[in-house]
Structures are given as structure tokens and as C-alpha cells.
């Protein structure tokens, strides 16, 4: 996916890698998350499942966002 197509109004499915705040030099990998780029300077990350928590991470903690794809609504996926 070309990075120019990414904006703060769309939800994406992705794997997020970020610095571990509890371990200097450590990395946390969050696979299968729904992400949104924004608000400016932040990455919004929703945990897995419908009951997943939503957290904001400053972009300076984010190492990478990979496996980026359009997020699919659960109801829409169940109908297919």
C-alpha cells in the first residue's frame, strides 16, 4: 500500500511494533490490531476483539506499522 493513501480518517488492520516502556531497549509487538493514524503525533490502536481497549501511543514510541490493510468490520466479514 502506498503511504500516500494512509490518512487519519480510515481504519487499518496492522501489526504494530513499539518501544517497551517497561524495558529499556525492549520491543513490544501487537499483531492483528486495528489502527488509525491520528490525532497528529499519535497512533490510535484498538486491542483485538470487540472488547479490545483503545489506546493512544505517541509516534516517537512507534517503531513500525506493518501488514497494513483495510480494516474489515466484523458484521461485514461474517456476511461473506
Domain ranges within the chain, ordered by starting residue: 3-79
How many other C-beta atoms lie within 10 A of the C-beta of residue 76? Answer: 8
Question: Are the CB atoms for 73 and 58 separated by under 8 Å?
Answer: no
Choose among 26, 35, 19: nearest CA to 67: 35
Q: Is 27 helix (H, G, I), strand (E, B) or coil?
A: strand
Backbone angles phi, psi at 45, to 5 degrees: -130, 125
pTM reported for the whole predicted model: 0.74
Question: Any idea what the Cα angle at residue 9 is, between residues 74 and 36, rounded to 5°?
Answer: 65
> What does the pLDDT look like over 46-60, one tens digit per residue?
987 776 789 999 999
> What does the pLDDT look like over 3-21, one tens digit per residue?
444 554 688 899 999 999 8
Amino acid at each position: 500500500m502506498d503511504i500516500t493513501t494512509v490518512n487519519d480518517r480510515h481504519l487499518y488492520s496492522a501489526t504494530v511494533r513499539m518501544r517497551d516502556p517497561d524495558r529499556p531497549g525492549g520491543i513490544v509487538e501487537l499483531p492483528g490490531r486495528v489502527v488509525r493514524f491520528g490525532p497528529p503525533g499519535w497512533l490510535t490502536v484498538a486491542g483485538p476483539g470487540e472488547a479490545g481497549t483503545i489506546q493512544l501511543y505517541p509516534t516517537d514510541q512507534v517503531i513500525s506499522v506493518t501488514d497494513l490493510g483495510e480494516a474489515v468490520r466484523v458484521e461485514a466479514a461474517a456476511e461473506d
